[in-house]
Amino acid sequence: MSFSHLGLSDKVIGAIDAAGYKTPTPIQEQAIPHVLARRDVLGIAQTGTGKTAAFVLPMLTMLEKGRARARMPRTLILEPTRELAAQVEEQFDKYGKNHKLNVALIIGGVSFGDQDMKLVRGVDVLIATPGRLLDHSERGRLLLSGVELLIIDEADRMLDMGFIPDIERIGKLVPFTRQTLFFTATMPPEIQRIADNFLHNPVRIEVSKPATAATTITQLQCAVGREGHEKRDTLRRIIRAAENFKNAIIFCNRKREVALLHKSLVSHGFNAVALHGDLDQSARTAALEAFRNGTAKLLIASDVAARGLDIPAVSHVFNFDVPHHPDDYVHRIGRTGRAGLTGTAISLVAPIDAKSVQAIENLMGMPIPWIGEPAKAEAAEATGGEPRPNRRPPGERSSERSGEGRSSRGGRNRGGRDRQPRQDAAPQEQVPLEAKAPVEQPQPHVDQAQPAREQPRHRPDSRHEPKRQPEKSPVRTSQPQPKREPAAEEPDGSHLPAFLLRPVTIKSA
Domains with residue ranges and CATH for the chain? 3-206 (3.40.50.300), 217-408 (3.40.50.300)
What mean pLDDT, rounded, does the chain reach? 79
d(CA 226, CA 412) in angstroms, rounded, equals: 12
Residue 401 backbone phi and psi in degrees, to 5 = -65, 160
What local confidence, expressed as pLDDT, does residue 134 receive?
95
Q: Which SS3 state, helix, strand or coil, does residue 105 take?
A: strand
d(CA 84, CA 90) in angstroms, rounded, equals: 10
What local confidence, expressed as pLDDT, does residue 361 receive?
92
Q: Are 274 and 298 in contact (CB under 8 A)?
A: no
pTM score = 0.64
d(CA 161, CA 153) in angstroms, rounded, equals: 13
Comparing CA positions, the residue from 51, 33, 7 lying closest to residue 152 is: 51
All residues at 6 or more sequence positions from 78 whose CB lies less than 8 Å from its CB, including other chains: 128, 129, 130, 133, 150, 151, 152, 153, 158, 167, 170
Residue 152 backbone phi and psi in degrees, to 5 = -110, 110
Q: Are 281 and 110 in contact (CB under 8 A)?
A: yes
More confident residue, 95 or 404: 95
181-190, 347-356, 415-424, 464-473: least confidently modelled range? 415-424
Distances (CA, A) of 272 to 284, 293, 370, 391, 430: 13, 13, 26, 37, 60
What local confidence, expressed as pLDDT, does residue 386 receive?
41
What local confidence, expressed as pLDDT, does residue 443 receive?
52
d(CA 328, CA 211) in angstroms, rounded, equals: 9
pLDDT category at 494 given cuts 50, 70, 90 is low
Q: Are 390 and 398 in contact (CB under 8 A)?
A: yes
Q: Which SS3 state, helix, strand or coil, does residue 79 take?
A: coil
Q: Is the pLDDT of residue 437 over 80?
A: no
Q: What is the pLDDT of residues 317-361, one digit of tens each?
A: 999 999 988 888 988 898 888 777 889 999 999 989 989 999 999
Task: Count CB neighbours of 316 within 10 A.
Answer: 24
Amino acid at 229: H
Q: Are 474 and 463 in contact (CB under 8 A)?
A: yes
pLDDT category at 469 given cuts 50, 70, 90 is low
